[in-house]
Structure 1
């Protein structure tokens, strides 16, 4: 459906896009939303299953997310599986790799294997360890080109 380059050109170039926050912990979701809200609209999901459904809906509505903040340990579908499914959704919709959503893992996990698997097998773009510091998240957004310097 979105295979033509017109989709990428019209939806992805220069338009403000929404962010998706995925975490089963209310306080973590709320804090990330508090940080991100001044810069973009934020949707939230409590688990990976909700995240994948929201991601599919956003693509279908031609309002794709440019950022997904994803916890790894969640009920239903965990973050690693949700990331793989999100990347599959993008591939199925013909989203060019350069236009894919940036996925930042936001997790308390310090396990090098889990982090490695999420980064390289799950398709994550970056990792921030909880508790998330506002300055670290904003720095990462700038590094990823999702926020301009003021």
Structure 2
């Protein structure tokens, strides 16, 4: 399974990468990382056109350049252009250090995010989210 982490805070990026790479219960996990919304969007599009697209994205809301919500909306527009079914669309968990209900609502209702996690988080919470959505 391929997972993309889009996070501009290096410590958070490393934590997510290590947690996801070392979790049990999933065979062959590949975790790629991007530090900007633009890079994450490009990596998503490249993977989507391959035989091994991302199944899950952890996307920070506050990113340099285009933010995580804008990147998510562009991902959904790209999927719409490709006429992907709901099961073919990438699942996205938004992450942020801010507890902002307006941005959470936008992520869910406009972007179709499956979950929203506030930072700091723990490996246990990440694994709980993975189980909740059937990735483990």
Alpha-carbon deviations, 1:114-147, whole Å to 9, x = none? Answer: 1111121122110111001111110111111111
Question: In the comparison of the two structures, how many residue pairs are matched?
Answer: 131
Q: State yes or no: 1:114 paired with 2:103.
A: yes
| Runs ≥4 residues deviating over 3 A | none
TM-score by length of 1: 0.83
Which stretches in structure 2 are left out of the alignment for 5+ residues?
none
Deviation at 1:100, TM superposition (A): 1.4
Deviation at 1:89, TM superposition (A): 1.6
Query: How far, CA to CA, are the matches of 1:119 and 1:65 in structure 2?
Result: 19
Structure with greater proportional helix content:
1
2:10 is the alignment partner of 1:26: yes
* 1:70-117 Cα shifts (integer Å, max 9, x gaps): 000111110000001111122222321122111001111111111111
Structure 1 residue 18 displacement after superposition: 0.4
2:72 is aligned with 1:83? yes
Structure showing greater radius of gyration is 1
Alignment TM-score, normalising by the size of structure 2: 0.91
Give the structure 1 partner of residue 84 of structure 2.
Answer: 95
Q: CA contact under 8 A between 1:49 and 1:82: conserved in structure 2?
A: yes
- Distance in structure 2 (CA, Å) of the matches to 1:99 and 1:61: 13
Structure 1 gap segments, 5+ residues each = 1-16
1:75 aligns to what SS in structure 2?
coil
Counterpart for residue 13 of structure 1: none
Q: Distance in 2 between matches of 1:146 and 1:87?
A: 21
